[in-house]
Structure 1
Amino acid sequence: MAMERLKLLFFSVPILLLVTPVHLTSNMEPMSLPTDKLLVFTVATQETDGFLRFMQTAKALNYTVKVIGKGEEWKGGEVSNSIGGGQKIRLLKEIMPSYADQEDLIVLVVDSYDVIFAGGPEELLKKFQQANHKVVFSAESLIWPDKRLADKYPSVRSGKRFLNSGGIIGYAPYISQIVQQWELQDNDDDQLFYSKIYLDPLQREHLNMTLDHKCQIFQNLNGAVDEVLLKFGTERVRARNSLYDTLPVIIHGNRNTKIHLNFLANYIPNAWNFKSGCGICDNDLFDLSKVKEYPTVTIGIFIEQATPFVPEFFQRLLNLDYTKEKINIFLHNNEVYHEKHTQRFWEQNRNAFKSFKFVGPEENLSQGEARNMGMDLCRQDESCDYYFSIDADVVLTNPKTLKSLIEQNRKIIGPLVTRHGKLWSNFWGALSLDGYYARSEDYIDIVQGKRVGVWNIPYMAHVYLIKGETLRSELKERNYFVLEKLDPDMALCRNVRDLTIQREKDSPSPESFHMLRPPKGVFMYITNREEFGRLISTANYNTSHLNSDLWQIFENPTDWKEKYIHLNYTKIFTENLTEQPCPDVFWFPVFSEVACDELVEEMENYGIWSGGKYIDKRISGGYENVPTDDIHMTQINYEKEWLHFIREFISPVTLKVFAGYYTKGFAMLNFVVKYTPERQPSLRPHHDTSTFTINIALNSKGRDFQGGGCRFHRYNCSVESPRKGWSFMHPGRLTHLHEGLPTTNGTRYIAVSFIDP
Structure 2
Amino acid sequence: MEYLTFFFFACWISFANCVYSADTPQAPAPIPNEKLLVLTVATEETDGFLRFMQAANYFNYNVTVLGMGEAWKGGDVGRSIGGGQKIRLLKEAMEALADQEDLVVLSVDSYDLIFAGGPEEILRKFQQENHKVLFAAEGLIWPDKQLADKYPSVRSGKRYLNSGGIIGYAPYINKLVSQWNLHDNDDDQLFYTKIYLDPLQRETLNMTLDHKCQIFQNLNGAVDEVLLKFGTDRVRVRNTVYDTLPVVVHGNGNTKMYLNYLANYVPNAWNYEHGCSHCDDNVVDLSQLKEFPNVVVGVFIEQPTPFLPEFFQRLLTLDYPKDKLRLFVHNSEVYHEKHIQAFWEENRDVFNSFMVVGPEENLSQGEARNMGMDVCRKDATCEYYFSIDSDVMLNNRQTLKLLIEQNRKIIGPLVTRHGKLWSNFWGALSLDGYYARSEDYVDIVQRKRMGVWNIPYMAHVYLVKGSVLRNELKERKYFVLEKLDPDMAFCRNARELTSHREKDSPSPESFHMLKPPKGVFMYITNRHDFGRLISTANYNISHYNSDLWQIFENPVDWKEKYINQNYTRIFTENYLEEPCPDVFWFPVLSEKACDELVEEMEHYGSWSGGKHEDKRISGGYETVPTDDIHMKQIGFDKEWLHFIREFISPVTLKVFSGYYTKGYAVMNFVVKYTPGRQAYLRPHHDSSTFTINIALNNKDTDFQGGGCRFHRYNCSIESPRKGWSFMHPGRLTHLHEGLPTTNGTRYIAVSFIDP
TM-score over 0.5 for the pair: yes
Query: Which is worse superposed, 345-354 or 706-715?
Result: 345-354
| Alignment equivalent of 1:191, drawn from 189, 201, 206 | 189
The secondary structure found in structure 1 opposite 2:254 is helix
Give distance in 2, aligned partners of 1:579 and 1:258: 64
Q: 1:466 to 1:600 in 2, by over 3 A?
A: same
What residue is the counterpart of 1:701 in the other structure? 699
Map of 2:545 onto structure 1: 547
Matched residues in 2 for 1:384 and 1:84: separation?
Answer: 38
Describe the shift of the 1:578–1:32 C-alpha distance in structure 2 as closer, same or farther (beyond 3 A): same
Q: 2:495 aligns to what?
A: 497
Flag the 1:697–1:438 CA change in 2: closer, same or farther, 3 A. same
| Alignment deviations for residues 294-345 of structure 1 (CA, whole Å, 9 cap, x no partner) | 0100000000100000000000000000011111110111001100001111
C-alpha distance in 1, partners of 2:504/2:41?
A: 29
The answer to whether the aligner puts 1:258 opposite 2:256 as a matched pair is: yes
Query: What's 1:665 paired with?
Result: 663
1:528 aligns with 2:526: yes
Taking a change above 3 Å as real, the CA distance of residues 705 and 752 of structure 1, as seen in their structure-2 partners, is: same
Whole-angstrom CA distance in 2 between matches of 1:308 and 1:507: 42
The structure-2 alpha-carbon separation of the partners of 1:64 and 1:711, relative to structure 1 and needing over 3 Å to count, comes to same
1:623 aligns with 2:634: no
- Superposition pairs of residues 124-163 of structure 1, within 5 angstroms: 124-163=122-161
- Counterpart of 2:532 in structure 1: which amino acid? R
1:187-229 CA-partner distances (Å, limit 9, x unpaired): 0000000111111111100000000000000000000001110
1: CA distance between counterparts of 2:373 and 2:342? 24
Cα deviation for residue 241 of structure 1 reads: 0.3
Cα distance per residue 1:578-637 (max 9 Å; x no partner)? 100000000000000000000000000000000000000000000000000000000000
Written as runs of structure 1 = structure 2, the 5 A alignment for 1:357-376 is 357-376=355-374
Residue identity opposite 1:102 in structure 2: Q
Secondary structure of 1:343's partner? helix
Cα distance in 2, alignment partners of residues 262 and 409 from structure 1? 18
Q: Please say if residues 228 and 240 of structure 1, whose CA atoms lie closer than 8 Å, have aligned partners that are also in contact.
A: yes
Q: Of the candidates 53, 59, 62, which is equivalent to residue 60 of structure 2?
A: 62
Secondary structure, aligned partner of 2:645:
helix
SS at match of 1:314: helix
- Residue in structure 1 matched with residue 310 of structure 2 by the alignment: 312
Residue 323 of structure 1: aligned partner:
321
Within the alignment, does 1:469 sit opposite 2:452 as a pair? Answer: no
Deviations 1:100-154 (A, max 9, x none): 0000000000000000000011101100111110000000000000000000000
Report the AA paired with residue 392 of structure 2. Answer: V
| SS of equivalent residue, structure 1 residue 255 | coil
Q: Which residue number in structure 1 is paired with residue 580 of structure 2?
A: 582
> In structure 2, do the counterparts of structure 1 residues 489 and 142 end up closer, same or farther at CA, with 3 Å as the change threshold?
same
- State the secondary structure of the residue aligned to 2:728: strand
Instruction: Indicate which of 328, 335, 338 corresponds to 2:336.
Output: 338
User: Taking structure 1 as reference, are residues 308 and 281 closer, same or farther at Cα in structure 2, changes over 3 Å only?
Assistant: same
Contact 1:654 1:661 in 2 (8 A): yes
| Cα 1:509–1:642 shift into 2, 3 Å | closer
1:640 aligned residue: 638
Alignment of 1:91 onto 2:85: no
Q: Which amino acid aligns with 1:37?
A: K
Question: What displacement does 1:95 show?
Answer: 1.2
Q: State the alpha-carbon separation in 1 of the partners of residues 676 and 28 from structure 2.
A: 106
Aligned ranges 1:149-298 → 2 under 5 Å:
149-298=147-296
- Residue among 27, 36, 39 paired with 1:38: 36
Identity of aligned residues (%): 80
Aligned match for 2:298, one of 269, 277, 300: 300
TM-score (norm 1): 0.96
Q: Deviation digits for residues 512-562 of structure 1, max 9, x if unmatched?
A: 334212313100000000000000000110000111000000000000000
Quickly say closer, same or farther: Cα 1:710–1:508, change in 2 above 3 A: closer
Task: Give the secondary-structure state (helix, strand or coil) at the position aligned to 1:715.
Answer: coil
**Deviation at residue 30 of structure 1 after TM alignment:** 2.4
For structure 1, the 5+ residue unaligned runs are 1-25
| Aligned-partner Cα distance in 2 for 1:545–1:341 | 15
1:120 aligns with 2:135: no
1:666-696 residue CA offsets vs partner (Å, 9 max, x unmatched): 0000000000000000000000000000000
Structure 2: gaps (5+ residues): 1-23
TM-score (norm 2): 0.96
Distance 1:223 1:727, change over 3 A: same
Residue 406 of structure 2: aligned partner: 408
Paired residues of 1:76 and 1:87 also in contact (CA < 8 A): yes
1:60 to partner: Cα distance: 1.1
Deviating beyond 2 angstroms after TM superposition, the runs of 4 or more aligned structure 1 residues are 26-30, 499-515
Query: Does the aligned pair in 1 maintain the 2:117–2:248 contact within 8 Å?
Result: yes
Distance 1:323 1:578 in 2: 40
Report the counterpart of residue 10 of structure 1 in structure 2.
Answer: none
Q: Kindly provide the amino acid, as one letter, of the partner of residue 263 in structure 1.
A: Y
CA distance in 2 between partners of 1:227 and 1:346 (Å): 56
Q: CA RMSD in A?
A: 1.2
Q: 2:397 aligns with which of 396, 399, 411?
A: 399
**1:587-736 residue pairs with structure 2 within 5 A?**
587-736=585-734
1:455 maps to: 453
The count of aligned residue pairs is 732
After the TM superposition, which residues 477-516 of structure 1 pair with which residues of structure 2 at under 5 Å, given as runs?
Answer: 477-500=475-498, 504=502, 509-516=507-514
Separation (CA, whole Å) in 1 of partners of 2:115 and 2:701: 72
Does the C-alpha gap of structure 1 residues 406 and 27 become closer, same or farther in structure 2, counting only changes over 3 Å?
farther
Q: Distance in 2 between matches of 1:752 and 1:463?
A: 42
The aligned residue for residue 741 of structure 2 is: 743
Q: Is the 8 A contact 1:613 1:628 kept in 2?
A: yes
Shift, 1:348, TM fit: 1.9
Q: Distance in 2 between matches of 1:62 and 1:739?
A: 86
Q: Is the 8 A contact 2:48 2:518 kept in 1?
A: no
Q: Structure 1 residues 504, 353: closer, same or farther in 2, change over 3 A?
A: closer
CA distance, structure 1, for counterparts of residue 648 and residue 236 of structure 2: 54
Distance 1:567 1:253, change over 3 A: same
Deviates more, 1:29-38 or 1:305-314: 29-38
Aligned partner letter, 1:701: K
Give the Å deviation of 1:27.
10
